[in-house]
Structure 1
């Protein structure tokens, strides 16, 4: 029988805690995350040791929306939040719903709110106690801080232009501009702080020096409420403008952490100030709104101490000192080598009978450009590359940048680190458009590729797919990549792309001008080279011997299927995909899932090419049709059943951003579309008539995209046929 958390703490004199702490690649703390070990130590009275989220150990979780990250062992939850997704940073179509582990694996003592409680309970006891441990701060630290500013404005980290210790909003966020006459009265606050407990104290004092607070972050609101500072949530939603009521709908557009926080206070709606980030703020109106609406919450914070997961022993300051000078708090380690933590946890078997020594942090790196911090080390020796067109990859090989950087990583094995939406244990079948990235890059470079994580701190390529907004950390080489302007790589719960920290961007080509516009707005340099690498397919697979068997292929997006299997069918509720008997032999519904092998991908491409015409809700269904010269149209998901030539430059026309991006980059001004709501039956004769009548071949010069390839080429842009050696593509783990 596993020991209780209380027994572990008594035996070892420290509490094992999982939290979203700083790593050795970060020379800063996030104030909100660092409060987790601080509050645990303040209430527990013992040192805190950081434990990985994935472990077989008995451990504790406190501050942060991190409940979904824990796997294995037993986790004692105290004021923790949770995402409804196991992988909230993934694109919406690839997110996996979070499922709480089996009964007893998560012991709930208190949660951030009722939403988090429901997500983590899994049918087990639900204590009904809500609140963040930061509510307890005034019981340990209540200084006399002179008020310096009339209004403090706390930004979320995703709104920052960098990770400096001054609040520097992204330039596009006009709502944070402060006129000269108010610069002494309104103070922008970042949660980014220097390493060290004293910096947390200083950040808290900075907040306490404000007469009022408006905040994008939950803990800005919690701290303000705890200390009785009048406050309002500073919503980025554009409607309603100014002071309004925020509906606390867990399925609505607002940050779930904020919604859960206020639901935990027993509210069903709350006052908020709504201000579009792109518009200037009336700061006098903001301060008036705070004064008019704020009332103390009356939260009974003592209940959180009563719910503490082991016997509490609250810290008391000694001899006129503050709690920040107490040895337990001063001794907290707030920066860790995560790989070392994981190794120690494995060596201990995930348990604590013999706890590993506490890891001293690596020295904090000096503040530097991301490339200096993250670029891989050069190899000791040059590598012999058995191709006549690629020189040795040693440090003195004379390879021009940026090619040398990608080659340099392969001193031990010649392969390209590539980020793509690869198969997973949960989704073992390949999605054609995503997986073609690995095959095309390997074929053009003449060397295999290997998987690189979307947030791995290494140098890597990023190719096919709308995945540019998911990339952060390391040195990135984008080639033909798409970027979603609405997605956030720093915080998936906040809308709008921001440039992530500790990331160096090398943009060789993008899918289209919309992606370029998004990155340029974040201050990233982008060339005017556009295209989707899937366009290269006919050079590898000409498909001249494929017989035409169907008049129309209907390519489904993976979100329209009832599963992620090779034989998954269209969802029954999507009436427009019903094919009457008269068309059974003429129309082919195509599921883009295929076996994760070159043969499986080639067979799926042949299935598309076997159709005389194509309509598709999938971007790569259209790209494949266009590159093989197959008449095609976008199968828009709205309308009553009419063909329309949509203006790609008119943003009032409803066009999937991926289609708009690709076709604009290929030089088109209109998009042939058949518009039909998926709940309505389809006139298939009308569809065929529209596609054949309006389609015109897409004329696109792919040579600039080929020449922008960020590795030496094993193929020639002038050749119409390229080899695809099995010795290369068969070695890839798709």
Structure 2
């Protein structure tokens, strides 16, 4: 990620402050002896021995999965958890499998005031800390989802109420800045546990800002681990010895009376207490608390300043595997290894310089199916294996619609992509293109892919789709319902999520400055060109593409082949956008036109030269199956088409009149397609503009 979540990233900081040693990060799944601190991450650990110090835990092994697929968590038998302290009694019970525990509860972030207690002028009367799930995006200013009216601040309170996000820029100084932002508030209400914890630790009056509507306003929070409230908050308060806790209840969909909130915080007056000394004494490797350098703060200590908080997860896993192999190699043959774990482990040595790339942090936060997918796909480097119709030695030039698959996937994932064969026995993604019927072997993740129902990957002489053997299908979205129907008929589960990923282009390339130079762009299919080069001309036998002198400067024939570079693709898209209207025999010529709001129509290859609104659901209407699939997927019932046999001359004025007279913009909501993306997103569905980092997309072999 290109940001920190304050709640997670404070873990290596406080671990280093209390332990007095450099800290390095290891994966949650490892054979090593390691420790964990801040975060509800106990359910993520596998293998080795984990020394737990103030850590929380979910009741589910896979809390991000749909409810019907969740698996109850129990401490893994093949590893061992040594509990020194937990976030609360619920986490203790889960990680000890109901057995005895240390009975010491508390989150290590509570110790921050022991190291840093600045004099900060109060800027705001109330700080409101939002949970990540309530945010529109991962920007550094709190931007709540538009439906959450409770976060609307009226103009007269703009200088009094501060919305705070835990999203923090990379780097230790930014974590200090986020903490200072909270400390500059006279009061705090928070949806996050660490917003409450910081307030309690520093003595700032605070309340949990419950999203539940009953009871309205100030009330008591029932600390029921099986109830609807965030288990992390429940466990935190239970660990403080409480049976209930004050809270302010406010429905997210209704405006908030902020003056009443501030009054409620003042009236609640229920300050928490925790034995910080016992938590320090419980530090697994023997506490050696740091002291601030003379005349400076603890944040200026070299051990804290040198913490690295962003990691290449694949590299992290590789280093951990190498360390495991080195340890196994060093063992004496025939020696008996005791499985008994000592309560006080030896202090680990500081990491060698070469290993500082895997620097300090707690175990990763609970994973998601998307993250698990990405990690499984990567043995040695972080990239997305993707099947697409890539360039070859024989055909080194890119075909725009196919090649955009790699660019869109890389841009949305925030990591580069690498080529994966259509029959390669690996786990991979399949996105843009009518290529679903070509895929076999391995584990396949389909996202916005099309299928030719008449073809299959098993036997080219058999008409119709046949499901291949030795292939595992995970369909996240398809291009349209016809492709979905083909897969479902083969026994493959397909969700009701449709769309073509090329639709995302304007988020990466807005093209608002492109000048309109032609009245009509005519986008040709690759089969209509003399060869597969950017300079290729249309085949002479196709008379309908002849341009008379009167239209010479008004009509642009567009070849979808382009240089296999980001610049080449962008220039080709700009060529399409420079036209005021489009007719196309290429599906992606139409999709690009639709997504940029350019009036367009399918240039059907039959007929005598007439415009027709073809009914997509009517099998009697002759429509290219790719167009039928896409437009039905975006809930259109008809397809605007200009029908003309390619051997006949075109009445270009009639074409222009038809396109402008019949086209209507698509009202397609692409957010379900974005949320169905199979690997972790680096972008937000709610954000209209997405970055396209050159370091990610320029390295792709298109």
Residues 381/323 of structure 1: CA separation in 2 closer, same or farther (3 Å cut): same
Residues 451/381 of structure 1: CA separation in 2 closer, same or farther (3 Å cut): closer
1:170 aligned residue: 145
SS of equivalent to 1:48: coil
2:208 aligned residue: 233
After superposition, residues 543-692 of structure 1 pair within 5 angstroms as none
CA-CA distance at 1:397 after TM superposition: 2.7
Q: Is the Cα contact below 8 Å between 2:387 and 2:420 reproduced in 1?
A: no
1:445 aligned residue: 437
CA-CA distance at 1:379 after TM superposition: 9.5
Residues 55/540 of structure 1: CA separation in 2 closer, same or farther (3 Å cut): closer
2:356 aligned residue: 359
Instruction: Write the distance in 2 (CA, Å) between the matches of 1:32 and 1:333.
Output: 16
After superposition, residues 377-456 of structure 1 pair within 5 angstroms as 382-383=391-392, 396-399=398-401, 411-414=419-422, 445-448=437-440, 450-451=442-443
Larger radius of gyration: 2
Q: Is the Cα contact below 8 Å between 2:220 and 2:247 reproduced in 1?
A: yes
Q: Is the Cα contact below 8 Å between 1:145 and 1:205 reproduced in 2?
A: yes
After superposition, residues 143-154 of structure 1 pair within 5 angstroms as 143-154=118-129
Instruction: Write the distance in 2 (CA, Å) between the matches of 1:119 and 1:343.
Output: 30
Aligned length: 432
CA-CA distance at 1:463 after TM superposition: 10
Q: How big is each residue's C-alpha offset from its partner over 1:167-209, in whole Å with a ceiling of 9 and x where there is no partner? A: 1111111111000000000000011111111111111111000
SS of equivalent to 1:399: helix
CA-CA distance at 1:92 after TM superposition: 1.1
Q: What are the ranges of 5 or more consecutive residues in structure 1 without an aligned counterpart?
A: 1-25, 363-372, 386-391, 423-437, 454-458, 465-475, 481-507, 510-530, 542-698, 712-734
Q: How big is each residue's C-alpha offset from its partner over 1:588-624, in whole Å with a ceiling of 9 and x where there is no partner? A: xxxxxxxxxxxxxxxxxxxxxxxxxxxxxxxxxxxxx
1:44 aligned residue: 19
Instruction: Write the distance in 1 (CA, Å) between the matches of 2:356 and 2:291.
Output: 26
CA-CA distance at 1:244 after TM superposition: 1.7
- Larger relative contact order (C-alpha < 8 A, sep ≥ 6)? 2
Q: Is the Cα contact below 8 Å between 2:422 and 2:439 reproduced in 1?
A: yes
What stretches of structure 1 move > 6 A for 4+ residues in a row?
350-354, 373-381, 406-410, 416-420, 699-706
Residues 350/63 of structure 1: CA separation in 2 closer, same or farther (3 Å cut): farther
CA-CA distance at 1:222 after TM superposition: 0.4
CA-CA distance at 1:451 after TM superposition: 3.2
SS of equivalent to 1:295: coil
Q: Is the Cα contact below 8 Å between 2:390 and 2:398 reproduced in 1?
A: no
Instruction: Write the distance in 2 (CA, Å) between the matches of 1:351 and 1:81.
Output: 31
After superposition, residues 27-106 of structure 1 pair within 5 angstroms as 27-102=2-77, 105-106=80-81
Q: How big is each residue's C-alpha offset from its partner over 1:42-62, in whole Å with a ceiling of 9 and x where there is no partner? A: 000000000110111000000
Instruction: Write the distance in 2 (CA, Å) between the matches of 1:71 and 1:164.
Output: 33
Q: Is the Cα contact below 8 Å between 1:79 and 1:130 reproduced in 2?
A: yes
Q: What are the ranges of 5 or more consecutive residues in structure 2 without an aligned counterpart?
A: 331-348, 360-381, 411-416, 452-473, 492-615, 632-702
CA-CA distance at 1:540 after TM superposition: 5.8
2:531 aligned residue: none
Q: Is the Cα contact below 8 Å between 1:173 and 1:277 reproduced in 2?
A: yes
CA-CA distance at 1:312 after TM superposition: 0.7
Instruction: Write the distance in 2 (CA, Å) between the matches of 1:142 and 1:309.
Output: 25
SS of equivalent to 2:24: strand
1:286 aligned residue: 261
SS of equivalent to 1:170: coil
SS of equivalent to 2:303: helix
Q: Is the Cα contact below 8 Å between 1:146 and 1:209 reproduced in 2?
A: yes
CA-CA distance at 1:533 after TM superposition: 6.1
CA-CA distance at 1:412 after TM superposition: 4.4
Instruction: Write the distance in 1 (CA, Å) between the matches of 2:625 and 2:147.
Output: 30
Instruction: Write the distance in 2 (CA, Å) between the matches of 1:404 and 1:710.
Output: 19
Instruction: Write the distance in 1 (CA, Å) between the matches of 2:484 and 2:267.
Output: 57
Q: Is the Cα contact below 8 Å between 1:63 and 1:80 reproduced in 2?
A: yes
Instruction: Write the distance in 1 (CA, Å) between the matches of 2:161 and 2:189.
Output: 11
Q: Is the Cα contact below 8 Å between 2:130 and 2:190 reproduced in 1?
A: yes
SS of equivalent to 1:77: strand
Q: Is the Cα contact below 8 Å between 1:55 and 1:71 reproduced in 2?
A: yes
Q: Is the Cα contact below 8 Å between 2:291 and 2:298 reproduced in 1?
A: yes
2:275 to 275, 286, 300: 300
TM-score, normalised to structure 2's length? Answer: 0.55
Residues 292/418 of structure 1: CA separation in 2 closer, same or farther (3 Å cut): farther
Q: Is the Cα contact below 8 Å between 2:387 and 2:422 reproduced in 1?
A: no
After superposition, residues 179-194 of structure 1 pair within 5 angstroms as 179-194=154-169
Residues 447/189 of structure 1: CA separation in 2 closer, same or farther (3 Å cut): same
CA-CA distance at 1:360 after TM superposition: 3.0
